[in-house]
Structure 1
């Protein structure tokens, strides 16, 4: 039973709000995806600003934001995608720590730019960990379910005042997503013309993108070989090419195996921008190795 003073009540869940930390690293051999915050730098910075360890669990919203009510005074910050932030209807600063009194409603509105905002609370969120992580995995269903109105989340104890730094620069949503690409392991399944297309064409972020993968729209990549591969291991950042020929960049909730050929891999350090790239954003793949 969660004490009311150690709880965070969900007033408005939003389109897709989940609990996320650094994810479940080291379980792919058992078929368990990594999960975790898609915009890892935003998650780390939000935690730093409220005095938490950088891997503490936060809320990740999608497009429409969310609203929560703490049972006691808590220091919070809303970062990631810029949005209107209020406490009991009064505007407060986005991207900097604020004190939210017990029983007050902290509301993170719809994203003004980008897709995903991050709400960090002093002491972190403490739902029961699964395989070492508190993250929601939308593919496997591990971890806490996506938030619904009326849900109650356990809230850790943190400082009653912000950390020493009270503001920091936040990266903006990309006007163009440039992804450095390391070819392989299945680039030989595509024609030379297709590989040139991949490196020179401009793609667009598809509205069908999600936490599993960033889907693109643009010139299809033609194969040099027919047939399909047996399922093989998939890594974060793998660029898989399904039958329609349009590349899909695997994100944190990606499956751990797949049978469509992987033309290349984007290093995970370049994927934070994918978390904030709205549908229609230009995407370019740049040969890195």
Structure 2
């Protein structure tokens, strides 16, 4: 291991994330991991890492890093200005830093979460097999703070990156479309397909645990058939849980593993990444998917 970077600024929230810690539901621990797994995987591929290597997830931007040794980076996810010593850099590109050079990520103009991968992968002490910070359970490495040192693993056996930039689509800034499988509790609602009739607005109550949505203007929301109580049951990633208000919550990476409100449907795993990048005020349109 070697110290590759020093953190100079962290923005609203910067955490270490990999692809999470599956297999611990039986002891009450969720998977966690990157909220937008697709962006972390891309950043890792760009620098020649395994897709599951730990990187940095930063909310909105504002992250500033100084190189302590020669290092190779990639920045993906939300659309934010990237500079090295004030010189603009390409999004989703491979960036080489020499000692004392500074990488700065500005505030995102579209999307919510930016990812930084470092060649070799970030090395912090794993907890239950993962280097991810679970913000709900409070396990894993502490969020980054100014002055922190970032160490990386040796990269000698890793393949050398063979691209300079990835031509990926920009993060959606308009209406986000997400596919949903109805169930298992869609029969608890007078008309579960209300979910698909209009777009829903992301509220400011959105974090790594989940995204609370506001009902369409003038709509009644998802109305329960009766006031039965539901025994606590398991909650998967992407579950659309509906509290008594009728306004759904979509669970993201740090979601609780059980819950007592009915789940009207589940967002397909491939589309959860899209919701992880949706900003407050943005609209979500759900479309039905077949099993």
TM-score, L = length of structure 1: 0.93
Measured on the aligned residues, the alpha-carbon RMSD in Å equals: 1.7
Matches within 5 A, 1:107-118: 107-118=104-115
- In the aligned structure 1, how far is the partner of 2:275 from the partner of 2:169? 12
Deviations 1:158-191 (A, max 9, x none): 3699611111122322221212111111111110
CA contact (8 A) 1:14 1:65 kept: yes
- The reply on whether 1:30 has 2:31 as its aligned counterpart is no
Matches within 5 A, 1:174-193: 174=172, 175-192=174-191
Superposed displacement of residue 88, structure 1: 2.4
- The reply on whether 1:232 has 2:233 as its aligned counterpart is yes
Q: Which residue of 2 aligns with 1:152?
A: 149
The one of 48, 53, 56 equivalent to 1:56 is 53
Q: Which residue of 1 aligns with 2:69?
A: 72
Q: Which residue of 2 aligns with 1:273?
A: 274
Runs of 5+ consecutive residues of structure 2 not aligned to the other structure: none
Q: Which residue of 1 aligns with 2:134?
A: 137
- In the aligned structure 2, how far is the partner of 1:172 from the partner of 1:48? 18
> SS where residue 208 of structure 1 aligns?
strand
Superposed displacement of residue 65, structure 1: 3.2
- In the aligned structure 2, how far is the partner of 1:202 from the partner of 1:77? 34
Higher strand proportion: 2
- In the aligned structure 2, how far is the partner of 1:196 from the partner of 1:163? 46
Deviations 1:128-186 (A, max 9, x none): 01111101110001111111112222222336996111111223222212121111111
- The reply on whether 1:210 has 2:207 as its aligned counterpart is yes
- The reply on whether 1:246 has 2:250 as its aligned counterpart is no
- In the aligned structure 1, how far is the partner of 2:107 from the partner of 2:72? 21
- In the aligned structure 2, how far is the partner of 1:144 from the partner of 1:32? 15
Q: Which residue of 1 aligns with 2:170?
A: 172
> SS where residue 55 of structure 1 aligns?
coil
> SS where residue 115 of structure 2 aligns?
strand
Q: Which residue of 2 aligns with 1:85?
A: 82
- In the aligned structure 1, how far is the partner of 2:243 from the partner of 2:170? 30
Change (3 A) 1:285 1:222: same
> SS where residue 204 of structure 2 aligns?
coil
Which shifted more, 244-253 or 173-182?
A: 173-182
Superposed displacement of residue 199, structure 1: 1.7
- In the aligned structure 1, how far is the partner of 2:79 from the partner of 2:33? 20
CA contact (8 A) 1:75 1:161 kept: no
Superposed displacement of residue 123, structure 1: 0.7
TM-score, L = length of structure 2: 0.92
- In the aligned structure 2, how far is the partner of 1:269 from the partner of 1:199? 18
- The reply on whether 1:197 has 2:194 as its aligned counterpart is yes
CA contact (8 A) 2:4 2:70 kept: no
Superposed displacement of residue 7, structure 1: 4.1
